[in-house]
Homo-oligomer: A and B are copies of this chain.
Amino acid sequence: MEDFKVTPWEVDGVVDYDKLIVEFGTSPLTEELIQKTAELTKSELPIFFRRRFFFSHRDYDKVLADYESGKGFFLYTGRGPSGPMHIGHIIPFFATKWLQEKFGVNLYIQVTDDEKFLFKETLGFEETKHWAYDNILDIIAVGFDPDKTFIFQNSEFTKIYEMAIPIAKKINFSMAKAVFGFNEQSKIGMIFYPAIQAAPTFFEKKRCLIPAAIDQDPYWRLQRDFAESLGYYKTAAIHSKFVPGLTSLGGKMSASKPETAVYLTDDPEEAGKKIWNFALTGGRATAKEQREKGGEPEKCVVFKWFEIFFEPDDEKLMERYRACKGGELLCGQCKRELIERVQEFLREHQERRKKAEKQVEKFKYTGELAREQWDRAIPEALKG
Contacts and interface: CB of A to CB of B under 8 A. Distances in A.
Interface residues of A, number: 51
Contacts of A167: 189
Interface in A162-200: 162, 164-174, 176-177, 182-192, 194-195
Contacts of A183: 173
A184 B170 CA distance: 13
Contact of A188 (B155, B187, B194, B364): B194
Given A158-B158, A361-B381, A381-B361, A189 B174 contact: no
Given A118-B165, A192-B192, A170 B156 contact: no
B378 A364 contact: no
Given A191-B191, A384-B384, A173 B186 contact: yes
Interface string A288-327: 0000000000000000000000000000000000000000
A187 B169 contact: yes
Classify the interface of chain A: helix, strand, loop or mixed. helix
6 contacts: A114-B165, A156-B379, A158-B158, A158-B160, A189-B195, A374-B382
Given A167-B189, A173-B191, A191-B192, 14 more contacts: A118-B169, A154-B161, A155-B162, A155-B165, A158-B158, A158-B160, A168-B189, A172-B188, A173-B183, A174-B185, A192-B192, A366-B381, A374-B382, A383-B384
